[in-house]
Amino acid sequence: MSGIQNLSIKYSIFRNKSMVGVAITSVKFEWVEQKVKNASNRPFLLHYGVKAPKASYISLKGPMRIHSNKYIESIGIPLKIAKELNEGLAENKRNFMLILVRPRNKGAITDLKTNFTGTLANEIINTIKIKSADIYNILIPKLTLPNNCNQKKLDDTLFHWNSFLQIWNQPEFNEISDGISFDHFYHFAYFSISNDGIGFDDFHSVDLPSEHTQNSENGQQFQPYKEAYNICFDSPFLFLIVELHYNIPLIIGSYAGEPALLKSQTRKYRKKEVICCLC
């Protein structure tokens, strides 16, 4: 979660003999058919009545897939591999998608993260895949995670890894995973959403997005503008980059604004019963 360094180490990895996996991810995706523009700055709703002022946004208009129910609203945005940076992946012609998931109770991102198991994620991915694409206009924030790049922390993602292995029944995954037991799996990555697309990279080889992004087609600077949107992601949400053939999530994370609130402040508001002692 942005603003909070999540280092999930419960005990020392040197206490017992362990197998540790470390991954440093370097991939860049571009928007496929979406028209991208800078949108007017607006507040980001951190939680009930709590806003972060003057957040930067981009507007995306193009074919997307939307899935909503009484608990969440989600959208699937098609992506393509940036060939100049990832020639090997681009040649495989895999289909990728950015999926954004937000709780209906705006700001209650901690409850969504707690219940976001591999099974639930797979259900959301499959539901969005079968939805017919339509033209939507959405608003999403520009972001860079971690938002404090001076604190370089490793994130132990073993829990999420094992959760997704339970739903992977493909032979190629079984061959990789049989007999291999990881005590920890660390992922060290930088993640960004900008006018150019999606990027996640290590801190040593990436330049942070400029505040004045140029249009790659004509070299003209984007101009902010106001218009109506189908969905505005102006409150905390989860994001997934998914390879659609095997439903493989390349990265899973959450964004809760800058600065993010404490976990106790991002839970669903529950009314407390008051007992009258004077009755």
Q: What is the pLDDT of residue 98?
A: 95
Q: Which of 61-70, 99-108, 150-159, 211-220 has the highest average model confidence (pLDDT)?
A: 61-70
Short-list 207, 232, 216, CA closest to 31: 216
Complete domains list, the chain, with CATH: 20-265 (2.30.39.10)
Task: Return mean pLDDT, the chain.
Answer: 70
Q: Which of 11-25, 28-42, 104-118, 153-167 has the highest average model confidence (pLDDT)?
A: 28-42
Alpha carbons 165 and 155: distance in angstroms, whole number = 18
Look-up of token digits 């607006």: 42
Average pLDDT over residues 200-211: 42
Q: How does pLDDT run across 123-145, given as a tens digit for each residue? A: 999 999 999 999 999 999 998 87
Instruction: State what percent of residues in the chain have pLDDT above 90.
Output: 22
More confident residue, 19 or 193: 193
Cβ neighbours of residue 248 under 8 Å, at least 6 residues apart? 164, 168, 242
Q: What is the pLDDT of residue 105?
A: 83
Evaluate if residue 278 carries a pLDDT over 80: no
More confident residue, 130 or 49: 130
Tokens of 172: 């190629």
More confident residue, 184 or 2: 184
Evaluate if residue 233 carries a pLDDT over 90: yes
Q: Which residues pair with 255 in a beta bridge?
A: 237
Reported pTM: 0.69
Q: How does pLDDT run across 89-115, given as a tens digit for each residue? A: 556 667 899 999 999 887 778 888 888
Q: How confident is the model at residue 88 (pLDDT cuts 50, 70, 90)?
A: low
